[in-house]
Structure formats: structure tokens, C-alpha cells
């Protein structure tokens, strides 16, 4: 079984949610307009990837204005194309001081009987040491700075690919004031071992759900983040009614299954 931070978190939050999202691969039909926060992050990440691949600031910035979905970012909002331009330029100036070794590099490594998969935003080298860089453009970035599965997996994964690992940098690109804050994290040995033990146990739990074909519902997660779970209508219906809802209100998304490697 192959699990990422997103898929493992989904099953931990609610096994039924994880089943609908990562086994049935369903997503609710929405309006034509994309989520603006997600779109802003995608546009900034893409620009930084292009810079890492080409070493051309001009090509990176050009990509910001060439995205056809960019029209959905209002010029008057905090997350506009102009703000994406400013933040990308500032981050590129930071990256110009380092040797960029990898950009959006997929990785995987064994954890117990299963595998953890993920993707680094950037791998840089500075003074003989290698560092992972992760970009955050979301408003809740502060919550993601604490030791968590994503950061720990970045570190553990990188330690298996690079012997001279220095740690992980989180670059928080703040649209609210067009600033970039850098946070350095190097997990301790005990933090890594505790993460491994927790992850192995969680993977065994998920594997048992799949083997039994039983995915318990967690009512406490139905209204997290001040909005109903997108699968709530399915959890509240049964039999033919649920089948009709799945056919009419949901579509299958091109999402990697748990039994598929990167």
C-alpha cells in the first residue's frame, strides 16, 4: 500500500472520507469557477518550478500571466496575479543564491510493510549540505510549521536519498503583505522514531479497513473547517439513493489509488 500525507490524513480524519476520496476517487461536481486559494497556490508553485527547471526568471513570471484560469483571480483581491508576480520574484531572488538540485521531485520509502510517497517542492544545496524547501501560500501556514507528518516525511525521505542532509526549510509566501518568511526545521531522532511508530500503526489500521471492506464514519469530522464534508450526502443515504447521488452529483477524479506507486 502506498500512502501520502494527504491520503493518510484523510483516513485518520474519517475512514469513510478516505474511502470515498482515495479508493472510489470521487469528487463532488462544482461550479466552473476554481477554488481561488488553491488556484493562487498552483500558479505560484508552477512559476517556481519553471524557474527551477529553466533558471529563467522571465519564463517563470511569464507563466503567471499565461494560465487561462488566472482570470478567476480578481485584481482587487489579496491573491491576485500581481501578488503572485511579486511573491514569485522575491522567492526567485532567494533561490538564486543556491544550487537547485531537484524541482518537484517525487519520492517514496518503506514504512513498515507499506510505502510513504510524496513530492518535494525543491531540493537545494548550500555549503555542502542539502535542504528541502517547501512553499506555503495558504493562510493556515502557521499550523503547518509544527512537527507534522508532512515535514517529518520530507526529512525522512530526503535522508534516504541524500547523505549530507541539512534539514527542511518552510518558505511561507504571504499574500496579505507580499512578504516571505523562512522557517528552518530539523526533527530530532526521537521525533522521527515517534512519527515512524505512529505511521506504521495508522497504516495497519487503514489496511484493516480495506481488508474488511468496512470504513467507519466519524461524525466529528462532518463539519470541519466551517463547511460540511463533500461526502456528507453519501454518508447520510443508503442503497439505491446513495448510488443515484454518486452518479448524479459526483465524478471520478484522476487520483492515484493506494495500491499504485508513483
What percent of the chain is predicted at pLDDT more than 70?
Answer: 91
pLDDT value of position 31: 54
124, three cell numbers: 537545494
Look up the pTM and report it.
Answer: 0.86
pLDDT surpasses 90 at 11: yes
Task: Indicate the fold that domain 16-204 takes in CATH.
Answer: Trna Endonuclease; Chain: A, domain 1 (3.40.1350)
pLDDT value of position 145: 59
* pLDDT 10s digits, 170-207: 999 999 999 999 999 999 999 999 999 999 999 999 99
Rounded mean pLDDT of 159-179? 94
Rounded mean pLDDT of 245-258? 83
pLDDT surpasses 90 at 148: no
pLDDT value of position 257: 59
Q: How far apart are CA 84 and CA 76, in angstroms?
A: 13
pLDDT value of position 224: 73
Rounded mean pLDDT of 156-166? 95
Q: How far apart are CA 255 and CA 187, in angstroms?
A: 30
pLDDT value of position 238: 93
Burial, 210: exposed, middle or buried (Cβ in 10 Å; 0-12, 13-18, 19+)?
middle
* Three state DSSP letters for the chain: CEECHHHHHHHHHCHHHHHHHHHCCEEECCCCCCCHHHHHHHHHHHHHHHHHHHCCHHHHHHHHHHCHHHHHCCCCCCCCHHHHHHHHHHHHHHHCCCEEEEEEEEEEEEECCEEEEEEEEEEEEECCEEEEEEEECCCCHHHHCCCCHHHHHHHHHHHHHCCCEEEEEEEEEECCCCEEEEEEECCCHHHHHHHHHHHHHHHHHHHHHHHHCCCCCCHHHCCHHHCCCCCHHHHCCCHHHHHHHHHHHEEECCCCCCCCCC
pLDDT value of position 139: 62
* pLDDT 10s digits, 56-114: 999 999 999 998 887 778 776 788 999 999 999 999 999 999 999 999 999 999 999 99
Under 8 Å between Cβ of 49 and 103: yes
pLDDT surpasses 80 at 2: yes
pLDDT value of position 161: 94
Rounded mean pLDDT of 9-28? 93
Amino acid at each position: 500500500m502506498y500512502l501520502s500525507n494527504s491520503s493518510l490524513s484523510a483516513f485518520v480524519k474519517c475512514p469513510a472520507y478516505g474511502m470515498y476520496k482515495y479508493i472510489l476517487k470521487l469528487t463532488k461536481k462544482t461550479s466552473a469557477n476554481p477554488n481561488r486559494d488553491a488556484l493562487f497556490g498552483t500558479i505560484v508553485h508552477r512559476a517556481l518550478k519553471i524557474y527551477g527547471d529553466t533558471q529563467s526568471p522571465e519564463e517563470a513570471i511569464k507563466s503567471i500571466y499565461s494560465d487561462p484560469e488566472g482570470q478567476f483571480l480578481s485584481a482587487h483581491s489579496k491573491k491576485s496575479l500581481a501578488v503572485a508576480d511579486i511573491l514569485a520574484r522575491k522567492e526567485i531572488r532567494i533561490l538564486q543564491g543556491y544550487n537547485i538540485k531537484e524541482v518537484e521531485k517525487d519520492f517514496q520509502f518503506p514504512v513498515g510493510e507499506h510505502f510513504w510517497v510524496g513530492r518535494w517542492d525543491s531540493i537545494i544545496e548550500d555549503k555542502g549540505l542539502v535542504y528541502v524547501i517547501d512553499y506555503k501560500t495558504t493562510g493556515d501556514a502557521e499550523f503547518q510549521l509544527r512537527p507534522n507528518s508532512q515535514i517529518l516525511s520530507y526529512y525522512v525521505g530526503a535522508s534516504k536519498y541524500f547523505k549530507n542532509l541539512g534539514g527542511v526549510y518552510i518558505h511561507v509566501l504571504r499574500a496579505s503583505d507580499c512578504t516571505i518568511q523562512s522557517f528552518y526545521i530539523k526533527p530530532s531522532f526521537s521525533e522521527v522514531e515517534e512519527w515512524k511508530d505512529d505511521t506504521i500503526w495508522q497504516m495497519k489500521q487503514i489496511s484493516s479497513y480495506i481488508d474488511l471492506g468496512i470504513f467507519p464514519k466519524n461524525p466529528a469530522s462532518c463539519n470541519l473547517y466551517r463547511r460540511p464534508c463533500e461526502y456528507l450526502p453519501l454518508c447520510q443515504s443508503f442503497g439505491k439513493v446513495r448510488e443515484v447521488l454518486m452518479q448524479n452529483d459526483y465524478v471520478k477524479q484522476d487520483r492515484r489509488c493506494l495500491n499504485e506507486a508513483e
